[in-house]
Chain A
Amino acid sequence: MILVMLSVMARGFVRDRAGLILAFLLPPVVFLVFASVFGSGASGRLDVRAGLYQAATSVQSRRLVTALQQRLSAPIRVYATQDALREAVLDGDVDAGLDLSAHLITDPYPASVVMTSGRRASGEVLSAKVREAVASTLARDLARRDAERLGVFLGLRDDQKRRLATVFSGAGPMTFVAERTLGADDPLVVYYAGAVSILFLMFTAMQGAFSLIDDRRAGLRLRLGLAVGGLAPVLAGRMLWLTALGICQAAALFGVAAAIYHIPLFAALAPWSVTATTAAAASAGIALALAAACSTRAQAQTASTFVILILAAVGGSMAPRFLMPALLQRLGWLTPHAWVITAYQEILWRRIVSPVVFEAWVVLAAFAAVGFALALMLESRRRL
């Protein structure tokens, strides 16, 4: 009986080509957009479009600009005047600008990074890149300059100054902070794969669950109520179908993520499958409960839009949870989204099946069970 309902829904879905496209094409496309915006092509690098103004070129400035360009993905745009650079930053043509209007070696502050308050992050990234470039290319020149200044201050003779400069310049590039990268890939790629996946699971499940309202309106519910097993197998069939559809949709999305961003989907297929199944079941349960609670399609559309957007915003499907205030982060645990995203991150980024993954599976299964029970109760009590 459950399989009959599953088959009825499956045939309806397969015969609806527009629905097929929306269910399987849209989520990967949206994921690719999110991943390329927030994950920067999985490289983990923040792309800063930098502008440059140089009052005069020198051997040192040419070396600095070359080293800086190597550290940026986008080509540096050169502006003829300081004002032109400032305008470009203000207009957003570039994210931040580097103003080299003073002598690189003799001036105490030879470089300025120009930024707007709305793009401080870009300015700070450029500033750090400039420091890195200076440390790697101008270390010897700056050491010689500092030795010269120190020699004057200490009253050294010329030969003593030369020896001091040799000692300073032999120290090599100035390095203070060493970088260590944790995790194999960009966490945001897996983050957004999970976030977009649960967002679209909810959309698809809601649309599928609305057939409950359509059936009610068409009088089918009256006939379905005569089913030998009552409404439970009828609803279970729908639940099973929506879960199966959700798994297929998640597979399509993560398949694209594996193909393009090389996330280790196949190495973690078993825990991924459990996560995808419980996530799809949770979405199906919530969607069925909502459809059962609504009398009309219009009511359900409004309610579902509200529920989907709120859950997505609080649960971390719209913006990364680590950027949220602590209160919202805590509230996020009330949504399936936070659990789904966390479980996928543990499995596919940290590449472990930690206790929190088991916890997520239990919570998602509970969402599914409670949603189904609620849907059954509401639909059984509904006045036809």
Chain B
Amino acid sequence: MTAEPAGPVLSVRNAVRRYPGRTALDGVSLSIAAGEVYALIGRNGAGKSTLAKAVVGALALDSGSVRVLGADPVRDREARRRIGVAPQDIALWGHLSIQENLEAFAVLAGVAPSNRSQAVDQALAAAGCADRRGERVDALSGGWRRRANLAAAIVHRPRLLVLDEPTEGLDAETRCALRTLVETLRRHATAVLLISHDAEDVATLADRVGVLEAGRLAAEGTPASLMTSAFAGRQELTVRVDAESSATALILTGFGLTPADGGAWSGLAADALAQARSIDEALRAAGVPVGELIVRHPRIDALIAWASSAPQP
């Protein structure tokens, strides 16, 4: 067995990938160390999936480089063997059971025959689907499929794990189980590239966050440092009104608020408390009853929203 090179598990340098009419990656550089979870966020079409494909060797770059443990995954089969990927879709054979899928992927990933059974058992246990190992993937619910999808990604004990929206559409219990699994992998020195829109995934798992915007890494840092730089002391203001009208919309947009989920209006303000008072007065003057007025520090989902939709603060 050869010794692994020192340095990051994943190193991306000036990655450029162009498609006709657009540049998907425009000089992206990042690195992930062993045991680090790196969350990549950004709006749809920002280049996240393209970067993930380049990282797993499924896509050649026009220029720049991707190195996994110092080797090019497009050319080096040993580098590819060190990568596990759990795509957003369930990348399993539906007609096979979970165990049959894992056995097949263990062989394809080059797990030695003597270790294969143990590797499958461990992956099943880690993903919490050992009890359902004999069930066909087609017959499983979404949550179990996602667990199985993750188990298949780790059956060969990869050094770099690429997770694309691993908790999307899952119930709270399964989300929690999958996050626990990622925590375990981190403790075992697995580097994780996490592509997610889920605020809680990013908040609870990520050591660092990279914001991809139009193929460029627009910002990068720990979640806390990114929050500071993204919001610069501003606070988040959320207003709920009991009866909405065009007058209400006019008043709230006048204060720089925009419609948010659940009929609320929200925005960022430097002096949020004073602005909240002004909004309250304006709404009362217009005869609009205020249901709820919240001032708080921005949460990670505001960061994701900031990264996912223009305009940026």
Contacts and interface: CB of A to CB of B under 8 A. Distances in A.
B80 A223 contact: no
B91 A226 contact: no
B299 interface: no
B188 interface: no
B104 interface: yes
Contacts of B58: 221-222, 225, 384
B53 A222 contact: yes
Contacts of A16: 95
A4 B101 CA distance: 10
B80 A228 contact: yes
B107 interface: yes
Interface in A207-262: 217-230, 234
A166 to B, nearest CB: 85
Interface string B251-287: 0000000000000000000000000000000000000
A227 B53 contact: no
A220 B95 contact: no
A180 interface: no
Given A12-B95, A16-B95, A226 B88 contact: no
Interface residues of A, number: 26
Contacts of A220: 91-93
A11 interface: yes
Given A222-B58, A226-B109, A228-B80, A8 B91 contact: no
Contact of A8 (B56, B83, B84, B96): B96
Interface in B68-87: 77, 80-81, 83-85, 87
B89 interface: yes
B56 A222 contact: yes
Contacts of B87: 219, 222-223
B107 A219 contact: no
A291 to B, nearest CB: 17
Nearest to A12: B95
B192 to A, nearest CB: 16
Interface residues of B, number: 29
B59 interface: yes
Contacts of B81: 226, 228
B206 interface: no
A7 interface: yes
Nearest to B103: A4
Given A8-B104, A11-B100, A384-B59, A226 B83 contact: yes
A179 B109 CA distance: 68
B306 interface: no
Nearest to B105: A223
Contact of B77 (A11, A218, A221, A230): A230
A4 B110 CA distance: 12
A95 B149 CA distance: 65
Contacts of B85: 222-223, 226
Interface in B177-198: none
Contact of B108 (A4, A217, A218, A219): A4
Contacts of A234: 108
A219 B89 contact: yes
B75 to A, nearest CB: 10
B64 to A, nearest CB: 18
Contacts of A222: 53, 56, 58, 85, 87, 91
A15 interface: yes
Given A220-B93, A222-B85, A227-B109, A384 B80 contact: no
A217 B91 CA distance: 9
A230 B81 CA distance: 10
A292 to B, nearest CB: 15
Contacts of A226: 56-57, 80-81, 83-85, 108-109
The residue in B53, B89, B92, B93 that gathers the most chain A C-beta atoms within 10 A of its C-beta is B93
B124 interface: no
Nearest to A384: B58
Contacts of B84: 226
The residue in A12, A225, A229 that gathers the most chain B C-beta atoms within 10 A of its C-beta is A225
7 contacts: A4-B104, A16-B95, A217-B89, A226-B57, A226-B84, A228-B80, A230-B77
Interface of A: 1, 4-5, 7-8, 11-12, 15-16, 217-230, 234, 383-384
Interface of B: 53, 56-59, 77, 80-81, 83-85, 87-93, 95-96, 100, 104-105, 107-110, 152-153
